[in-house]
A and B are shown apart, each in its own frame.
Chain A
Amino acid sequence: MLSVLSNPALLLAAEGEGGGVEFPPINLIVKWPAAFGDGQWYAFNKIALISMIGMLVPVILFWLAGRKASLVPKGIQNVMETSIDFVEDQIVLPAIGPDGMRYLPMLVSMFFFIWIGNLFEVIPTSHMPANARMANPLLLALTAWVMFIGVGLKHHKLGYLKEALFPPGVPKALYLLVTPIEFLSTFLIRPFSLAVRLFANMLAGHILLVTFSVLTITLMVLGPLVIVGGLSFAMLVAFTGFEFMVAFLQAFIFSLLTAVYIGGALHPAH
């Protein structure tokens, strides 16, 4: 399992021949060898491992919190209830309303799954956000897409499609222009931008951290440039803190946007 976690980019940077700065090719820093099932549909690599951890950690935390749930919360139960309160107060209630509590389990799982996947960007020995690969963002965005279309069709039957594609209060002739735009923005751009927002944010952060790590190591190795290497290291620390914040923010924004889309499908009037 350790071979799954090792980071060849740093090794390559340390061994850069000729003393020049050698940035690793992009596939080297985002693609990982499989631990088993290489080339098969069940190939299990580092991203898959992070995904499994992203499932197991919330399961264990919520299990511990709910095992001895008491009216006066303490310890882990307090923390997990605070997270539920956060999802309820910041995501469900503003975006959907009181009747959105039904979607709380999905939003809580989404939030934790993305957050923990993102956190592996700054967790030492891993340094790879699971969401910097297109797999998880695509999966989650498709889930959100199916969810909001499903909610719209369930609650408003075909009236949802009519409402979404032919918004009321528009002159008849303009439908020629409005309908294709609405179709594109609602049914194609929404899932696409959801996936790309998360993926690109994490990939950009990952490349940023890799760049500064490589720079720091190379400058340290070069000796005379050790002072500049120190500056580079300071930048690396600052960006690690920044990415720590981004990891949370992206998980929050993904869940919030999913809730907003579901809320829009549930109450199409506004």
Chain B
Amino acid sequence: MSALTNAAAEILAQVPAEATADEAKAIAGASGAGMAYGLAAIGPGIGIGYLVGQAVQAMARQPESAGQVQTTMFLGIAFTEALALIGFVVFILLKFV
């Protein structure tokens, strides 16, 4: 985590002295946006992978209930994916203030 904050501080240090406060804020936002989305994608990535893996296992064990499993799987993906998407929105918000 300190590596990330160091990176942000480094970028901030490069901001020329004549840059206004708004510009500095925009640059910090742009650099933070990438980290925000990258971090937000980790959890849901693992989650969706686990979820789909389990769903495939369930469908392989009981092919007759595949339809129900699939619907439930999509629901689970939707809930898990929401976290990553909120990360994406935060990315947009930070990048394009």
Contact = CB atoms under 8 A, between A and B. Distances in A.
The answer to whether A and B touch directly, with their CB atoms under 8 angstroms apart, is yes
Interface of A: 26-27, 90, 94, 193, 196-197, 199-201, 203-204, 249, 252-253, 256-257, 260
Provide the main secondary structure of the chain A interface. helix
B41 to A, nearest CB: 11
B7 interface: no
A90 B96 CA distance: 39
Provide the main secondary structure of the chain B interface. helix
Count class of interface residues, chain B: 10 to 19
Contact of A260 (B75, B77, B89): B75
B71 A200 contact: no
Interface in B20-68: 67-68
Given A90-B71, A256-B71, A26 B96 contact: yes
Given A94-B68, A197-B81, A249 B74 contact: yes
Interface in B66-97: 67-68, 71, 74-75, 77-78, 81-82, 85-86, 88-89, 92, 95-96
Contact of B89 (A94, A196, A253, A257): A196
29 contacts: A26-B95, A26-B96, A27-B96, A90-B67, A90-B71, A94-B71, A193-B82, A196-B85, A196-B86, A196-B89, A197-B78, A197-B81, A197-B82, A197-B85, A200-B85, A200-B86, A200-B88, A200-B89, A201-B81, A201-B85, A203-B92, A204-B85, A204-B88, A249-B74, A252-B74, A253-B74, A256-B74, A256-B78, A257-B78
Contacts of B67: 90
Interface of B: 67-68, 71, 74-75, 77-78, 81-82, 85-86, 88-89, 92, 95-96
